[in-house]
Amino acid sequence: MSALLKKSTAVIAASLLAVAAQTARADSFSENFEGTALADTGWVTVNRSTTPNSAGVWRLGTAIIDADSNPVVLPYEGSQFAVVSWNSSNSTSTSATLSNWMLSPLITGLNNGDTFSFFTSTTPASAYPDRLELRLSTSGSSVDVGTTTTSVGAFSTVLLTINPTLAVGGYPETWTQYTATVSGLSGPVDGRVAFRYFVTSGGPNGANSNIIGVDQFSYTSVSAVPEPGTWALMAGGLLGVVALRRRRSE
């Protein structure tokens, strides 16, 4: 069977670099997924798939490889990226519904007009469709995604969906950037954004689900506080003279 018809595998990184944990974000920030674990920078993973596989949660990888162990997807930038795949479920008798979550650190002061941006890709000529949702919770530090394969808990707002109909070829097969803008809020709120890998008829024996990567995530606040250096420049300006200005490959 052609390697392109086999489900792909992620190579898991074993980085020696330690990254200080950050559990809240009060202004714009970016995530390049270069740490030793997602939890190091405040990300939370939850697997609500059918018969969830504890080894199949979102994780860090250095490459996606094919059935012959050839790398087919490398990081968009840097040496690592976040990855999730068909083995989110260990159901081997029937197809499964995959619902695998990666929740951002707490973001304080979310506003209308704030934007989220990221790059994502699956493997070239993927025969097993994938789907990804970007969802928003405005419930503070809550990590509630419900308890079933279809529940969403506090993350009831869909910011965008990639390949909503699970079409073959519908998920980008090269790194592609997506951007979502926050709207509909009555005022500043605290919350989190979440990536949800949501695929029906997936898993080891499903017709859908292969593997996806996410890299270069960024959050841009419309009301971000300037850096201390910026404040100093502003103060100096005010005080000074006014100037012009398929199948199993594991």
Output the CA–CA distances (angstroms, integers) from residue 45 to 155, 183, 194, 197, in the order listed: 14, 25, 9, 11
Q: Phi/psi zone of residue 146: left (φ > 0), alpha (ψ -120 to 50 degrees), beta? A: left
pLDDT reading at 6 higher than 80? no
pLDDT reading at 224 higher than 80? no
Interval 112-142: pLDDT, tens = 999 999 999 999 999 999 999 999 999 999 9
What confidence score (pLDDT) does residue 229 get? 53
Domain 3-239 architecture: Sandwich (2.60)
What confidence score (pLDDT) does residue 1 get? 47
pLDDT reading at 220 higher than 70? yes
Cα Rg, the chain, nearest whole Å: 20
Domain range summary for the chain, segments of one domain joined by +: 3-239
What confidence score (pLDDT) does residue 93 get? 76
Q: Is residue 91 very low, low, confident or very high in pLDDT (cuts 50, 70, 90)?
A: confident
Question: Tokens at residue 58, please?
Answer: 């979102």
What confidence score (pLDDT) does residue 24 get? 52
- Count Cα neighbours of 107 within 13 Å in the Cβ-side half-sphere: 29
Q: Is residue 237 very low, low, confident or very high in pLDDT (cuts 50, 70, 90)?
A: very low
d(CA 105, CA 108): 10
Question: Tokens at residue 61, please?
Answer: 């990888």
pLDDT reading at 238 higher than 90? no
Query: What's the mean pLDDT when you consider all of the chain?
Result: 86
